[in-house]
Amino acid sequence: MEKTVVSIKELVKRYGDLIALDHFSLDIYEGEVFGLLGPNGSGKTTTINCLLSLLAFDKGDIEIFGKKMTPVSYDIKKEIGVIMQNVAVFDELTVYENIDYFCGLYITDKNKRSQYVEEAIKFVGLEDFRKFYPKKLSGGLLRRLNIACGIAHKPKLIILDEPTVAVDPQSRNRILEGIQELNRNGATVIYTSHYMEEVEQICTRIAIMDKGKKVAEGTKDELKRMIKNTETITIEILELPDRIKAEISSLPHIYDAQYAEGRLTVSCSGGKHNLIRVLDVLQKNELSFGRVYTELPTLNDVFLEITGKALRDKEE
């Protein structure tokens, strides 16, 4: 049986009239890389802050490693590594000193700490920047330092709240590889991000949040099966009369056909020969076309279908 590392039950958090978390429940198991997805204001960071006992909540229970989490659960805190959304390092301490400071809050043995700090520096690839001050580091290097400060003490549970915001692709790739390596080394990871491809790449299980509620949960494949779309066909075509578009829309397993800017986009739900059937219609009507391609649904499609396409920042 899988061992539960984090258990959140019926969590409710209110800011005045606004309900930030609405009876939110979640179980995370040992060895998982768990992705927490959601649009802006959906409650991801609030969940993390409640989980860490930084934020008071109105109702619910939180257990970590089978014990109730409170602000004074120092034995639990010892096993947790936190990488916050905002970089949290001392500007006047060097890279080495910053990592040593935070590692020292968890590890009192100096020799062990020194070894851990060196390993963390290597892990994030900051070997050449040991004596640099944070303000001399680029955005990507700074994020890596932020991560090193959070994981140097080799925690069993690592919580990363959007750690790759404003990071270049190279650094992002390095960070993602690092997270997978930490997981391979035995750490359970909770990962929140806006970047669907990141979550798709590293997470073994995902929960999607919206308006403080969990709206979907499962593996990538399970989530993809939850949505209507199974295939999207795109065809470059110079002209498409409305009559033919309507004919395509009426084909079996096709639930939507849109034509815009010389491109026909056909959304399919189930069925096996959708592309052939669409091309048959075009050929029958002697319409020439350019490139043709088909895509399977991505996590982005899942996310947009479940949470809706309206702009959330605008809504808020």
Partner 1 sequence: MFLHILKYELKNGLRTKDLIIWLILFPIGLGICFKVAFGGIYDKTEKFSTIPVAVVEESDNAAFRQVLDNITSADDPFLKVTYADRAAAEKLLDEGEVEGIIFSGDKLSLTVKEKGLPETMLKSFVEQYTVKEKIVTDAISTSPEKAQEVITALTENTASSCKEIPLTQGNPDVYIQYFYNLIAMVAMFGCNTGMHITIQNQANLSALGARNNCSPAHKSVSILAGLAGSFIMETFCMILCVSFLAFVLKVDFGERLWLVYPAAIMGGMLGVSFGFFVGSLTRVGEKAKVALMTAVSMLMCFCSGLMLANMKAIIEDKLPWFNRINPAAVISDSFYCLNIDEGYERFISKLLTMAAITAVFVFLGFISSRRKKYASI
Closest C-alpha to 278, from 270, 266, 269, 260: 266
- Please give the residues from 15 up to 34 whose contact with partner 1 meets the rule CB under 8 A: 15
In degrees and rounded to multiples of 5, residue 265 shows phi and psi of -115, 120
Whose Cβ is closer to partner 1: residue 149's or residue 203's?
A: 149
- Give the binding-site size for partner 1 (rule: CB under 8 A): 33
Residue 285: alpha-carbon gap to chain centroid: 45
**Applying CB under 8 A, which of residues 59, 67, 68, 78 lies at the interface with partner 1?**
78
Question: Restricting to residues 142-201, which ones interact with partner 1 according to CB under 8 A?
Answer: 149-150
255 lies in the binding site for partner 1 (CB under 8 A): no
Q: Which residues pair with 89 in a beta bridge?
A: none
Phi then psi dihedrals of residue 10, to 5 deg: 50, 50
Nearer to partner 1, 49 or 204 (CB): 49
Q: Which long-range contacts (CB under 8 A, 24 or more apart) does 253-259 make?
A: 254/278, 255/228
Helical (H) or strand (E) element with 210: strand 205-210
Note whether 53 binds partner 1 by CB under 8 A. yes
Nearer to partner 1, 74 or 261 (CB): 74
Residue 226 phi, psi dihedral angles, 5° rounding: -75, -20
86 binds partner 1 (CB under 8 A): yes
Residue 90 CA to chain centroid, in angstroms?
27
Binding status of residue 80 toward partner 1 by CB under 8 A? yes
55 binds partner 1 (CB under 8 A): yes
* Contact residues: partner 1, CB under 8 A: 15, 49, 52-56, 70-72, 74-75, 77-78, 80, 82, 84, 86-90, 92-93, 97, 101-102, 104-106, 108, 149-150
